[in-house]
Structure 1
Amino acid sequence: MATGWAGDDAVQQQIDATVEDAVQRARRRLATGPGRETCEECEAPIPLARQQAVPGVRLCVACQEAADAEEQAHAGYNRRGSKDSQLR
């Protein structure tokens, strides 16, 4: 099947690259090392159960939820662009 400049597996390569980017981004977010006993944002105590469940914890639940919401607001950007955006 003739596809022009794109290879036969171009779609699968883009899917694989997108998944790999997401995996790398998730791995970078994983904290390591000993966690904190108090939140670095609001200084509220972090419960022992959270410290044990999340290695390297830095934020209390409320501050973590706010940080996740902030990050989610910027997560919709597709750096590869869509076919429609390239046609404009």
Structure 2
Amino acid sequence: MSTDLRGATDQERLTRLRATLTTDFEAQTARLTELTADTGDPGEAHTQAAMIATTRQSLAQIGDALRRMAEGVYGTCERCAAPIPAERLEVLPHARFCVPCQQKHG
């Protein structure tokens, strides 16, 4: 994300991250629509299936992040309940875990 979120209040940061996630969700939805259109080329079927799976995974991650925002638990590690640093969320807005927990549990 290109926006510098340092110095922003928590609410401003959350608003910007929500906007970024919403935009990403819309872009991934459009991409999925394009990918699921029948191209008629059986040689591209495997590649297309992989791209569809990746896009669906991205949509699920973004949707989960938006749900956590709505529930008021966004930015809290799902394993240890510690706050996820703003810098991590800036780079990976759909992060569910803090770095130590992510490294421990892959």
TM range (shorter): 0.3 to 0.5
Does 1 or 2 have the higher relative contact order (CA < 8 Å, sep 6+)? 2
Q: Higher helix share goes to which structure?
A: 2
Q: Which has the larger radius of gyration?
A: 1
Return the TM-score normalized by structure 2: 0.40
